Structure 1
């Protein structure tokens, strides 16, 4: 869908200054891990979680940096305990959730849990409204250190009497108080708010990541729509605060191999949390290789530069055009090791993709740059003034790392590639 009327408004949002991020000692970098929802939804039990953690170790995902094993909805009994008021794990499927966590922690992983800002979760299990402090304590007692917090079944206005910020601040306050009283590190707090109330403008003071759209699907049109939306709010991502583009859908069917590479590349380079949502017992070697691309992961986990890549040219559309089917194609951003470039072919056929180097604000005029291909893992010579990627596959991606390689050769003409320039007066 083409949304020409929103271009000016979306452009304006990129001029807004970023809010100070929540700095409490955890989740400075995007979280890497696993989440049960996309592969299993409610068909989960503690054996599945232990098996998943075991597979993450044996498949090399732990060594690649994936640290969290997270349960989503449906793990609880439908009613709280009558005496304590606490959420109760499903007696059949999670007979000893603490022992499960102990076993997963022994493998080196951390674990995450799910709740909701409303009366009930999205699947109808107990939510945390008016029980925020009790639930935070319960989750910590069970051994969790990450909380995904959803946005279903919230109270009527005359009961809650708060805006969206207040809804999430209730649990944020409970988690902060718990860290103070328990002496344990704060929870990683992931807001699943779906972007309804410009979450990227306020959530930095409340949580560590925030969902910016509705649920992802393993289809190119879903990926393109999320990339398009996120292209206008990349300034909201930096250390300790990340636009969450939802879970990785690699290996769940519906995506070509090139689309899967584009999915992973865009999520990683835009510094989204990377939570695998795939049945790991069925994962193929090619998808596993995508998830373990250490050169891409190192940019997502850059400890010096926390910024997302951003578009420097939209490509087939005029700049600042919102088009959920054909998002921006030319992206760049800084890293501690050079300038990151992403070329995204949004067309349904292969295409050559070219750009002038200084179209990226991170590239210096009058310099040449070495070119590292982050997917072929090869050094591809030196780029002078421009670069062309030949035959980028349909819905495919090229990811490059450009490093300054000194002055460009003397005598090049014209004296400047773009814009107006003059000789010394």
Structure 2
């Protein structure tokens, strides 16, 4: 952890930095299914350039101890408890019990790891570490014995410095490596997380190699996790030093943090493999800052990247949905695949990501990831994913746990912030599986209460055999009116065809602004077997038209917002934690009464309904950043970038940004990190207003 802006502690926060007659096709609303998207590859800013699909490096030197042949799986308390009193012996034992009771051990989780704050602030008279007697009255060895009795393993934490990373600053291991490693081995420790605080400027390679050698000298097999936040590019030198290394600053329990770390870790695929893993930090699944859809994306993408899967939520308080995500053995199998190849980016454009992972048996895992805040169809092909030519392929949906077949197209309409993961194989029995049927919408619809809005849905057959008795339906909240204005049924849907249906949706007058569930259900009967029903989560946004005149962005109803640290603030700077903890908006010594306070990376989406002509603001880094930080401000209208500020630093005066938004139904205010990480990036949309 570092002491960050306004002394808010961060754990190493540094660089977060896809045979009916013609007459029947027409009367049933059926059309030819579009070919798989051939979208040109382009990086999605912000983030590093995306690499082509390649296999990982296999000849890097590595530790000869045979440990961590697959990415470590387990638990670490920091994300859920930090140094609070609830982090103690009883909690650790309770987590071990839950690993057994909830089947997590059977799913592959084995390490129960203690993070910072387990020790007393001072060593004893002999220079030895002392466990905190309040937290661990029976000592660390007793806890380790309990964990081991469950068939699990124990992990511990210290820093490659004179102090650890917490505010208190417990004893670090710099200069005490041999003694501390001996204590850890005597306690039965199986895993060491070695942080980077208070390192006194000692060369990183030297610091981490010294502890490697100390651990080896104990004779105990201990997995060694290097946590120097990617500052010295450990993927270039640490494969024979540690078993895994952090590639980024600390993750936080937010969509923007997870996304930024994903983009930083994805290009490092060539450096990962058995015994040496890229570590994009622990899982936040279940901590409450993201939706279950976002947590499924988090878990899916970490598994695709062969990342260590260390649970960061307090399992004693976890919901059934959290356990369902963490226990998805189909997805875990990708992370733990024996080949150890980290997935690479096949395509990325307009928030649509296709990520591919080569598996040991020749299969391919394909993740279709939707970064955007509205559903999108994402498509590729089995050939593009690296599979040989075949008449058909088995397609296993790893979240639906359902098998189907495709003639080659791999596609899905993926919900906002969602990820669909398929395991694709050349199976000679492919025709025995039902045809893959893809359902989607062009939504989400933007509905002004009392006024009808339109939506189009599609159901397409990606297989070779027909789908029969096809039906499609939308399920709206009670009191809403849903009417199909074109056919919503088909007697049969041949391979390569789709049923398109248009709908009219009306929310009752007086319905409050916000997001409402609007799931799409499609059903069909395969040539053999039971009827298949698929439900696609969906959302309708009830929106409020902007008032005439020049309304401020802070006074308008937002559709969505995301922020790097803390919530977006109205008329104050961002305080990074709770709503309302900011200060007056101040840029270059000028104080502004109105505006939005954000922290990069950030997005705010507003509904303008085609009624506004101009957006303007004065933008910059808030003075509270102390002259540090940098960010770039962008205005997007109907999905197109229409204005930008360029990169501004903490020493720049507020810069005017004006955008022509004529005819736009939605406007997004985007802040990126300026390309150098997000430290001190307190960014202000001062005097942000519309002309409507």
TM, length-normalised to structure 2:
0.53
Decide whether aligned partners of structure 1 residues 344 and 5 sit closer, same or farther in structure 2, where only a CA change above 3 A counts: closer
Aligned to 1:353: 378
Which residue number corresponds to residue 75 of structure 2?
34
Q: 1:408 to 1:135 in 2, by over 3 A?
A: closer
Question: Which of 243, 247, 256 in structure 2 is aligned with 1:212?
Answer: 247
SS in 2 for 1:119: coil
Q: How far 1:61 moved relative to its partner?
A: 1.1
Q: Which contiguous aligned blocks of 4+ residues in structure 1 show a shift greater than 6 angstroms?
A: 1-6
How far is 1:4 from its partner? Answer: 6.7
Which structure ranks higher in relative contact order (CA pairs < 8 Å, sequence separation ≥ 6)?
Answer: 1
Deviation at 1:268, TM superposition (A): 1.1
SS in 2 for 1:144: coil
Number of the residue aligned with 1:248: 283
Name which of 324, 339, 361 aligns with 1:289: 324
Equivalent pairs, count:
383
Q: Could you tell me how far 1:302 is from its partner in structure 2?
A: 1.7
- Please name the residue that 2:418 is paired with: 396
Q: Is the 8 A contact 1:81 1:87 kept in 2?
A: yes
Give per-residue Cα distances to partners, 1:51-88, cap 9 Å, x unaligned.
12112221221121110100000010111111x21111
8 Å contact 2:44–2:348 — kept in the other structure? Answer: no
Whole-Å separation in 2 of the counterparts to 1:332 and 1:5: 21
Q: Distance in 2 between matches of 1:394 and 1:90?
A: 45
Asked whether 1:112 is paired with 2:141, we answer: no
Q: Residues 76 and 108 from structure 1, CA distance in 2 versus in 1: closer, same or farther, beyond 3 angstroms?
A: same
Work out whether 1:384 is the aligned partner of 2:410.
no
Q: Are the structure 2 counterparts of residues 221 and 110 from structure 1 closer, same or farther at C-alpha, using a change threshold of 3 Å? A: same
Q: Does 1:232 align with 2:272?
A: no
After TM superposition, list the pairs within 5 Å mapping 1:80-91 onto structure 2.
Answer: 80-82=123-125, 84-91=126-133
Higher strand share: 2
Change in CA separation of 1:153 and 1:287 when aligned onto 2, cut-off 3 Å: same
1:138 pairs with 2:172: no
Q: Identify unmatched segments of 5+ residues in structure 2.
A: 1-16, 18-42, 432-463, 465-692
Go from structure 1 to structure 2 and tell me whether the alpha carbon gap of 1:332 and 1:24 turns closer, same or farther (over 3 Å shift): same
Q: Deviations over 1:216-273 (max 9, x none)?
A: 1111111111111112111111101111111110111111111010000011121100
**Alpha-carbon distance in 2 for matches of 1:403, 1:91:** 54
Shift of 1:368: 3.0
Q: Say if 2:51 and 2:345, in contact at 8 Å, map to a contact too.
A: no
Matches within 5 A, 1:126-165: 126-156=171-201, 160=202, 163-165=203-205
Residues 1:397 and 1:4: Cα distance change in structure 2 (over 3 Å): closer
Number of the residue aligned with 1:271: 306
The answer for the alignment partner of 1:373 in structure 2 is 397
Question: Residues 51-70 of structure 1: matches in 2 within 5 Å?
Answer: 51-70=94-113
**Contact 2:273–2:340 under 8 Å retained in 1:** yes
Structure-1 separation of matches of 2:174 and 2:214? 12
Residues 212-221 or 50-59, more deviating = 50-59
Does the 8 A contact of 2:114 with 2:156 survive in 1?
A: yes
Q: Which residue of 1 aligns with 2:358?
A: 334
Q: Which residue of 1 aligns with 2:530?
A: none
Match of 1:21 in 2: 62
CA contact (8 A) 2:396 2:422 kept: yes
Determine if contact 1:367/1:407 at 8 Å carries over to the other structure: no
Alpha-carbon distance in structure 2 between the residues aligned to 1:64 and 1:138? 31
Question: What residue in structure 1 maps to residue 336 of structure 2?
Answer: 301
What's the CA shift for 1:23? 2.9
Instruction: State the distance in 2 between where 1:7 and 1:74 align.
Output: 35
**Aligned mates of 2:55, 2:423 — CA distance in 1:** 27
Note the C-alpha offset of 1:11. Answer: 5.5
Bigger radius of gyration, 1 or 2?
A: 2
Q: Give 5+ residue unaligned stretches, structure 1.
A: 317-325, 413-425
Q: 2:630: which partner in 1? A: none
- Over 3 Å counting, the alpha-carbon distance change for 1:141 and 1:299 in structure 2 is same
- Which residues of 2 match residues 158-173 of structure 1 at below 5 A? 160=202, 163-173=203-213
Deviation at 1:406, TM superposition (A): 5.3
User: What is the root-mean-square deviation of aligned Cα atoms in Å?
Assistant: 2.4
Write the distance in 1 (CA, Å) between the matches of 2:365 and 2:47.
Answer: 28
